[in-house]
Amino acid sequence: MYNDRSERETAPRIIPPWLLHRARLAIEEARTAHPRLDRVGWNRRLPRRQQAEPFNLHSVATAIGFIESGKVTLLPTPRRSSYALKHSAERWGERNGFEPYVGNGDFILAALNCGVPLGRAHGANCAVALRVEAA
């Protein structure tokens, strides 16, 4: 018998191919359009020999799916922390058979891809113009 955690970790993912394709394109575009953004968030100044942490395809797709799911509302100005919103995307992903972990930078990249306005970066995080609707 498995505990809940191990069952979740081995559960098959059902991310649609079109969403994975969109996430792949977003990741490729981010390499040139947002070189300071990595999976952790807005890149801290890393030594040249140390590489940024790469985005995760399934996590970016999960965050895009969450943003476009109708569970969030676009706000007129960025107010919510990207870090807080990434946790909402993780819960949504786990409930819907998508990726149960979303990096802060994966979420920021998804928000950029969906045209969501972002505020100034504060460390690795930034403000995002989204509000999560009550379930």
pLDDT of 97 above 80:
yes
Does 39 have pLDDT greater than 90? yes
Q: Residue range 68-83: average pLDDT?
A: 95
Q: How much is the pLDDT for 6? A: 44
pLDDT value at residue 47: 56
Mean pLDDT of the chain: 87
Every domain of the chain and the residues it spans: 18-43+52-132
Rounded mean pLDDT, 92-102: 96
CA atoms within 13 Å, Cβ hemisphere of 118: 23
User: Who has greater pLDDT, 11 or 33?
Assistant: 33
Name the one residue in this structure whose structure tokens are 């107010």: 79
